[in-house]
Structure 1
Amino acid sequence: MAVDNPAILIWSLLFGIFGLGFFTYGKRQGALIPLGVGLTLMIYPYFVSNLALLVCIGIALILLPYFLKL
């Protein structure tokens, strides 16, 4: 993946940091939703090259555990 836009790289790094936080929290608490969201946040930027789509998916994933509780 060649990054032409530095904003994509910065947003990917930011969502990766959030993903690491969610993953760590989910693993320690035994909560599957934050664990899955964390993994997804760390992996999906490798497959999305559109900046608007990257930001929208990332924000939706960050908000998902707050609205979906099991």
Structure 2
Amino acid sequence: MTTTQLLLGVLFSSIGLGYFLYGKKQKVTVPLVCGLVLMIFPYFVENTTMLTLIGIILSILPYFVKL
């Protein structure tokens, strides 16, 4: 694991924590699920490019999907 992957993991996990807390408090499923996935997926993705791409997509997804 490189320093870049570690810092991206911390960044996306903190964004995920914010989404998770928001989704839990407001009872909205999309931010809740995106938050959980953002907190968990950095443990399983080893490629820095894929880590960045998946993290950006999951971070933007709650703005466009309103359920």
Matched ranges for 1:1-70 at <5 A: 3=1, 5-70=2-67
Structure 2 segments unaligned to the other structure (5+ residues): none
**TM-score normalised to the size of structure 1?**
0.94
Matches of 1:69 and 1:32, distance apart in 2 = 9
Matches of 1:18 and 1:67, distance apart in 2 = 16
* Aligned partner letter, 1:12: G
Which of 1 and 2 has greater Rg? Answer: 1
Q: Can you list the C-alpha shifts for 1:11-69, whole angstroms capped at 9, x where unaligned?
A: 00000000000000000000000000000000000000000000000000001011111
Matches of 1:67 and 1:16, distance apart in 2 = 20
Matches of 2:12 and 2:22, distance apart in 1 = 15
Structure 1 segments unaligned to the other structure (5+ residues): none
* Aligned partner letter, 2:54: I
Identity over aligned pairs, percent: 51
RMSD: 0.4
